[in-house]
């Protein structure tokens, strides 16, 4: 069993849990993920490692309550325990020979971008971080990102934080101002990563994106997490989750992401009914 030692509510739908998992913490690296099960009857879900503390033996996960399991997970409190917490899984991010990098986080993707920026910063790389949200009430990890960045730019779709625009607007301005990036790391919604990759391709800037499709076993056997990269089938759980953004077939990934929307909606409705009492039928 894996104890929750810390819980934070980052915004109304996003929670942070620090989990006691010394074996995972010992080997965890940025870019990797875990697969957890809340209880014996629970489904297996993948979540990217947002942070880790080897001395404390803890791993931090940040998630949005968008489905049945994340809703249950968000209701758990400090002191409670998870049934399974397996990892680290996936290929760790590689940052060799870099001098200047732009790290981009869109919405919840900021939680995944944070360990990337933190690692780059620790290696002495100059880091410009750009994070974007729909509005100021959804902003997360602003202080944490600022601490591991040489410069931090925070944008909101509606301008409610005083900086209206999209992450791509900020990135384009920085590039046109003469900033020479060895790499761009973009993590967030598929459409955001697609637009960023399309932009950086115009400038010939290497771009890495993090793919998080449907996963089941996390070992490459089920094939549920397949993505097309450079015209070839890859499995996000064992070949990724980091991939060359200029080679990912985002349109296919977006179509596959929509496949289980109805099933997830029904699962959420069932969960809400159980919370609110029984219903007829």
CATH of residue 190's domain is: 3.40.50.80
| Residues 213-224, mean pLDDT to the nearest whole number | 72
Same structural domain, 74 and 132 = no
Structure tokens at 281: 């039928």
Same structural domain, 194 and 111 = yes
One-character DSSP codes across 51-79 = EEETTTTEEEEEEE--SHHHHHHHH--TT
Containing structural domain, residue 38: 2-89
Same structural domain, 240 and 259 = yes
Beta-ladder partners of 129 = 103, 152
- Give the other-Cβ count within 10 Å of 105's Cβ: 28
Same structural domain, 203 and 97 = yes
Q: Where does the pLDDT of residue 279 fall: very low under 50, low under 70, confident under 90, or very high at 90 and above?
A: very low
Tell me which of 89, 121, 144 is where a domain ends: 89
pTM: 0.85
Maximum Cα–Cα distance for the chain, whole Å?
64
Tell me which of 31, 55, 89 is where a domain ends: 89
Same structural domain, 10 and 64 = yes
| Residues 222-251, mean pLDDT to the nearest whole number | 89
Residue that the structure tokens 């973009």 belong to: 186
Give phi and psi for 250, each to the nearest 5.
-65, -35
pLDDT at 151 (0 to 100): 97
Same structural domain, 224 and 255 = yes
Same structural domain, 149 and 201 = yes
pLDDT at 280 (0 to 100): 41
Could you give the number of structural domains in the chain? 3
- pLDDT tens-digit map of 246-278: 999 999 988 887 766 665 566 556 555 555 554
How many secondary structure helices (H) and strands (E) does the chain include?
A: 9, 15
pLDDT at 224 (0 to 100): 75
Same structural domain, 72 and 130 = no
Same structural domain, 141 and 177 = yes
Same structural domain, 118 and 172 = yes
Tell me which of 207, 232, 248 is where a domain ends: 207
- pLDDT tens-digit map of 177-208: 999 999 999 999 999 999 999 999 999 999 99
- Give the other-Cβ count within 10 Å of 279's Cβ: 10
């Amino acid at each position: 069993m894996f104890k929750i030692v810390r819980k934070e509510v980052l915004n109304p739908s996003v929670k942070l849990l620090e989990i006691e998992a010394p074996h995972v913490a010992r080997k965890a690296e940025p870019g990797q993920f875990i697969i957890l099960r809340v209880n014996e009857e629970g489904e297996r879900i993948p979540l990217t490692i947002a942070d880790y503390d080897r001395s404390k033996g803890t791993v931090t996960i940040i998630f949005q309550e968008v489905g049945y399991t994340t809703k249950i997970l968000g209701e758990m409190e400090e002191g409670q325990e998870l049934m399974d917490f397996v990892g680290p899984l996936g290929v760790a991010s590689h940052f060799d020979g870099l001098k200047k990098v732009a790290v981009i986080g869109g919405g919840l993707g900021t939680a995944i971008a944070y360990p990337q920026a933190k690692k780059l910063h620790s290696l002495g790389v100059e880091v410009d971080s750009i994070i974007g949200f729909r509005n100021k009430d959804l902003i997360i990890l602003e202080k944490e990102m600022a601490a591991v960045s040489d410069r931090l730019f925070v944008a909101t779709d509606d301008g409610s934080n005083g900086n209206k625009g999209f992450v791509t607007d900020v990135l384009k301005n920085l590039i046109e101002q003469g900033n020479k990036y060895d790499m761009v790391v973009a993590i967030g919604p598929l459409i955001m990563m697609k637009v960023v990759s399309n932009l950086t391709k115009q400038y010939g800037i290497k771009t890495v994106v993090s793919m998080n499709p449907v996963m089941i076993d996390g070992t490459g056997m089920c094939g549920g997490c397949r993505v097309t990269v450079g015209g070839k089938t890859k499995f996000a759980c064992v070949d990724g989750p980091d991939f060359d953004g200029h080679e990912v077939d985002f349109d296919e990934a977006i179509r596959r992401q929509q496949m289980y929307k109805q099933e997830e909606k029904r699962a959420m409705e069932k969960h809400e009914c159980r919370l609110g009492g029984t219903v007829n039928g």
